[in-house]
């Protein structure tokens, strides 16, 4: 009997950096992980669920209000199966929601319901990243045991090169392996 594949939930949020989710999904799949993608409505404005469905080999979750299998609500069923939750890209919005306990979509509900490690890969404008509220939310989440990778200095959607660029795929995968042991 082969060992159980590690299950990574990949939360994709509304950022131009959502394109990186494709490379992350593909690379993790190649390395034997089972990838289940959860996309926010905003993320689907940048890349399609179909793309990530084809790359992951699993149905992409976009809606909390689909009928549950059996008696398990979807968000808790996903949360219970996860070995790790990766949010890439992690916007100021999702970071703020989790720091404030706001559960208004399938991704935020799943993150708050899981006991698995959660890794955030922030991606946003440098001014947003350096805003006091975002800094405070990140500090709070780190204090609670959440892990962050990046952001890096790089080209941002506004055209500037500054802090706020999502970390490169190799660094994210290396961090996943470290967190999962």
Give per-residue pLDDT as tens, 51-68. Answer: 999 999 999 999 887 766
Res 71 pLDDT > 70? no
CATH of the domain at 23: 3.40.50.1950
Print the domain residue range for 96. Answer: 7-180
Question: Would 166 be classed as within a structural domain?
Answer: yes
Give catalytic residue positions: 158
Give per-residue pLDDT as tens, 17-64. Answer: 999 999 999 999 999 999 999 999 999 999 999 999 999 999 999 988
**pLDDT the model gives residue 8:** 97
Q: Is the pLDDT higher at 71 or at 97?
A: 97
How many CA atoms does the CB half-sphere of 141 hold within 13 Å? Answer: 28
Interstrand relation of 7-12 and 84-90 (parallel, antiparallel or unpaired): parallel
Q: Residue 79: enclosing H or E segment and its boundaries?
A: helix 74-81
For the chain, what is the domain count?
1
Question: Would 2 be classed as within a structural domain?
Answer: no
Question: Would 89 be classed as within a structural domain?
Answer: yes
Question: Would 1 be classed as within a structural domain?
Answer: no
């Amino acid at each position: 009997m082969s060992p159980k594949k590690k299950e990574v939930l990949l939360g994709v949020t509304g950022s131009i950096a959502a394109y990186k989710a494709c490379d992350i999904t593909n690379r993790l799949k190649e390395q034997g992980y089972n990838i289940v993608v959860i996309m926010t409505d905003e993320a689907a404005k940048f890349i399609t669920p179909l793309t990530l469905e084809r790359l992951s080999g699993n149905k992409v979750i976009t809606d909390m209000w689909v009928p549950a299998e059996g008696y398990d609500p979807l968000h808790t069923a996903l949360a219970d199966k996860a070995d790790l939750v990766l949010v890439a890209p992690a916007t100021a919005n999702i970071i703020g929601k989790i720091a404030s306990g706001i559960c208004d979509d399938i991704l935020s509900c799943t993150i708050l319901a899981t006991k698995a490690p959660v890794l955030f890969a922030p991606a946003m404008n440098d001014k947003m990243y350096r805003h006091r509220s975002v800094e405070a939310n990140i500090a709070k989440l780190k204090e609670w045991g959440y892990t962050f990778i990046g952001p890096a200095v790089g080209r941002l959607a506004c055209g500037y090169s500054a802090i706020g660029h999502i970390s490169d795929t190799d660094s994210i995968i290396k961090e996943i392996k470290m967190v999962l042991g």
